Structure 1
Amino acid sequence: MNETYKWLYDYYALPLMKVGKQADALKERIASHGSPADALFLWDRLEDLCLLWGTESLAIGLQLGLRLMAGQRADGLLIS
């Protein structure tokens, strides 16, 4: 595995994955402050935000990965 990706996994992705349990607990606390009917709506909105942020993060990560790998190819992949 490329050392850059190993470092990114160890020092960036792995710590973020551990935050998931804390985030779920926080979402439950937020949703519990409303009425039962509102709790489902709040939970749904929070999940939507997480999915949106996850999609944007993936897109940014792919762009970064392509740019990092561009300099390592023999044919010099051009990304503009």
Structure 2
Amino acid sequence: MDHKLNFTRVGWTVSVFAIVMHVIAMVRMATLTGQARAFMEQLAGLGHPGFSMLNVSGAVIMLAEAFVYGWVLSAIFVLLYNAFMSKGQ
């Protein structure tokens, strides 16, 4: 039985998952109030990218990063998984 993962399927799945998680984070960050918003503004002052993703260019950059990171992570995972699964047979 062949247990090899398909790079394209894993790549799209992980990338879409990462993009959805970034969109959820952006929506959540846009709706912060009170102490949570003050805390994130303090982190932004320390160099945390938090609120930078709430403008158009920041959002595009963050979503593009999520897409690329999804493919990079899937490439590493698929190569390792397929290598270890082929040695076990």
Name the TM-score, length of structure 1 as normaliser: 0.52
Other structure's SS at 1:28 match: helix
Cα deviation code 1:26-64 (max 9, x no counterpart): 221234552011111000011111111000001101111
Aligned partner (choices 1, 21, 25) of residue 20 of structure 2? 25
Other structure's SS at 2:54 match: coil
Q: What aligned pairs does 1:1-80 form with structure 2 within 5 A after superposition?
A: 2=1, 5=3, 23-31=18-26, 33-69=53-89
Q: Provide the C-alpha distance between the structure 1 equivalents of 2:68 and 2:74, rounded to a whole number of angstroms.
A: 10
User: Larger RCO: Structure 1 or Structure 2 (Cα < 8 Å, ≥ 6 residues apart)?
Assistant: 2
Q: Provide the C-alpha distance between the structure 2 equivalents of 1:38 and 1:24, rounded to a whole number of angstroms.
A: 14
Over the matched positions of the two proteins, sequence identity in percent amounts to 5
Q: Provide the C-alpha distance between the structure 2 equivalents of 1:37 and 1:66, rounded to a whole number of angstroms.
A: 43
Contact kept? 1:27, 1:46, Cα under 8 Å: yes
Structure 2: any 5+ residue segments left out of the alignment?
6-12, 28-52
Contact kept? 2:22, 2:63, Cα under 8 Å: yes
Structure 1: any 5+ residue segments left out of the alignment?
10-16, 70-80
Query: How many residues are matched?
Result: 57
Q: Provide the C-alpha distance between the structure 2 equivalents of 1:45 and 1:21, rounded to a whole number of angstroms.
A: 12
| Residue 59 to residue 50, structure 1, CA distance change in 2 (3 Å) | same
Name the TM-score, length of structure 2 as normaliser: 0.48
